[in-house]
Amino acid sequence: MRVVIAEDLFLLRDGLVRLLREHGFEVDAVDNGPALLDLLLNNPPTVAVVDVRLPPSFTDDGLRAALAARRCHPGLPILLLSQYVEQLYARELLADGAGAIGYLLKDRVSDAEQFLDAVRRVAGGGTVLDPEVITRLLRRNDARGTVSALTERERDVLLLMAEGRSNAAIAAQLNVSDSAVTKHIASIFNKLDLAPSTDDNRRVLAVLAYLNR
Amino acid sequence: MNDILAPARTGWPARLAAPGRGVLLVGLALAESVLACVVAASAMLIPLGIGLYLFPPSMAGLTGLAERARRYAGQWSGVAVSPGRTRPAVPAGLLGRARWCWRTLTDREFWYEYRWSLADPIVGALIAGTPFSLVVYGIFGALVQPFVWRPIDQAGGSNWYTMVHVNTGPRALLAVPIGVAVTVLGFYCGPWLLRVHARLTRALLSPDRTEELTRRVEQLVDTRAAAVDSSAAELRRIERDLHDGAQARLVAMGMSLSNAERLIERDPETARALVAEVRQSSSKALQELRDLVRGIHPPVLADRGLPDAVRALALDGPLDVEIDARLAHRLPAPLESAAYFAVSELLANTAKHSEADRAAVDIALRNGLLYIRVRDDGCGGADLSRGTGLRGVERRLAAFDGTLRVDSPAGGPTVIELAIPCGS
């Protein structure tokens, strides 16, 4: 599996390259927006791990390169890393509805297992959003009263679902049975009036679309 | 009444209105001369104590008339007279009143108004009364002369109209075209004479250049002090947040790590738990730093500028906010930041107090001004004089010479408009 890493901070880039190589990935690294865009367009990797803020302008060059690349190669798997998660950027990334998107805080890299898992899931077409994105989405929806029907447990399930976890992973994390998770998910979809879906990725996108209304 | 008060400034509507407007100004001048006497008398009575109670209301009356003259000059002739400074309210108590009177009497503003109230009834009334006099005199010549010359002449009177000695029928008929001409002249020169009057008002009521600059300097000193204060307070807050937050956490992390180092051989289990704890701490420290930076300079503002930053702001709030923002270029960074935090405060206010569920933000650049309008469909009743939030926004905008206007009747809707010069 070939991964492109776009990160301008040497220490972080070096750490990521080493971590991914150790786990058998083939890695290309770049440190600026134009080089990233060039690589993504002309030699698309299996998945790209991209810092939102990159040279030359040190604004959202990474994000813009990622969005431009996905316009040419729809569904090109991209995992964005950032010091901040922004609802606006999450929306822009999800707007094409193709999935294969990850958007995580840089802190999450410190848990190597989870990070590698996220890279693999995005590469496989999954959607992995930082819990922070979902927490803020839920807070907004709380204020509007659109998710007041959900129980505490259902919210936990929703959070993990949006992180792109499978039913089994959610069950393990919450210490409940698989069938309990299935029941919670059915209940969430019922309460939010969404058509149920067994496809992990499709159901995440449906829930996000609902919360983003 | 309505016709002559309507702000027609050109063409026949203005000409027809001018004589009536002139009469209003003459009436105003009469009131001025009366009030000028009252003000002078009550000022002289101040040493006796009665003046302390008579002077403030008579002064308020005179200032009211001056305000009215300023308004007429602007409405009828398009002559902008700079508004007077608002006087502070009269304090309670004898000493407070005495101090107020002293301050008013030593204020240049008072002397501008007083000089106006003496000169305007003489020079101003003469100018303003002319159109009406001409019109009336003209009508007298054209309509009345043909009928009244004979009785006057028979009674032995000497009857002149302009330069014509009217004592025969043909001469009385000659008075008719002259009368018509004088009437037309009265209407024709009316707007011009009113403009002369407006300029006189401006000359009498406006501060001179030095006074204007003095005021500007006073205002700049105020806004600069406020800007320095608020940035100092901001730095103190940041220092405190770092000290109590991230810094403290890093110290604790260092201690935990050195404990883990010590225990790693003897008690690997505890060491592992300590390391896990350190990782959690690091993530909390990062979270705190993120929140801190967001409060100083939001990432989307830095990345994309004001319109997208406001969009991002709307996505984080509970309201449905419709945003219409088009800027051809990025604004200067300090202005961008001030505008962003102003909108942020206004939307937070809306969410907290207005019971609205929809809001709209419009952002546009026009004539070198950045206009921002925030509307909501809530319950209204926002008041600059009560809400400390709005005051704060106004104070921060003042450093940019920006202004804030609130229109929020009870029952809503609320519209708040900001205008900030941006020199481009």
pLDDT in tens, B101-114: 998 888 888 888 89
Nearest CA in chain A to B282: A107
Q: Does A51 lie at the interface with B, CB-CB under 8 angstroms?
A: no
Write out chain B residues lying below 8 Å of A84, CB-based: 290, 293-294, 299
Of A145-154, B294-303, B414-423, the one with minimum mean pLDDT is: A145-154
* For chain B, the helix, strand and coil percentages under 3-state DSSP, each to the nearest 5: 70, 10, 20
Q: Does B321 lie at the interface with A, CB-CB under 8 angstroms?
A: no
- Whether the pLDDT of residue B2 is over 50: the answer is no
Nearest CA in chain A to B278: A110
Q: How far is the CA of B357 from the CAs of A49, A87, A134, A142, B318, in angstroms? A: 39, 20, 22, 14, 8
The pair of three-digit structure tokens given for residue B202, joined into one six-digit string: 């401006």
Residue B215 dihedral angles phi and psi, to the nearest 5°? -60, -45
- Whether residues B311 and A88 touch (CB distance < 8 A) is answered with yes
Rg (CA), chain B: 35
- Whether residues A88 and B312 touch (CB distance < 8 A) is answered with yes
Q: Do residues A3 and A45 touch, judged by C-beta distance below 8 A?
A: yes
Q: What is the ipTM of this complex?
A: 0.86
Beta bridge partners of B160: B165
What band does A16 get if pLDDT is binned at 50, 70 and 90?
Answer: very high
pLDDT at B110: 87
- Whether residues B316 and A60 touch (CB distance < 8 A) is answered with no
The pair of three-digit structure tokens given for residue B247, joined into one six-digit string: 């810094």
Nearest CA in chain B to A111: B279
Q: How far is the CA of A96 from the CAs of A53, A205, B302, in angstroms? A: 22, 11, 25
- Whether residues B303 and A144 touch (CB distance < 8 A) is answered with no
- Whether the pLDDT of residue A209 is over 70: the answer is yes
Write out chain A residues lying below 8 Å of B317, CB-based: 140, 143
- Whether the pLDDT of residue B21 is over 60: the answer is yes
Tens-place pLDDT, residues B60-98: 999 999 999 998 998 888 888 877 777 888 888 888 888
Q: Does B211 lie at the interface with A, CB-CB under 8 angstroms?
A: no
Q: Which helix (H) or strand (E) holds A16?
A: helix A10-22
Higher pLDDT, B152 or B119: B119
Q: Does B165 lie at the interface with A, CB-CB under 8 angstroms?
A: no
Q: Could you give the angle at the alpha carbon of B391 between the alpha carbons of B389 and B397, nearest 5°?
A: 105
Task: Note every long-range contact of B382-390, with CB atoms under 8 Å and residues 24 or more positions apart, other chains counting.
Answer: B382/B349, B382/B353, B382/B354, B382/B406, B382/B408, B382/B414, B382/B416, B383/B408, B387/B349, B389/B345, B389/B348, B389/B349, B390/B349, B390/B416
Q: Does B281 lie at the interface with A, CB-CB under 8 angstroms?
A: no
Q: Is A104 exposed, middle or buried (0-12, 13-18, 19+ CB in 10 A)?
A: buried
> Who among A53, A89, A144 is closest to B318 (CB)?
A144
Q: Do residues B140 and B164 touch, judged by C-beta distance below 8 A?
A: no
pLDDT at A150: 84
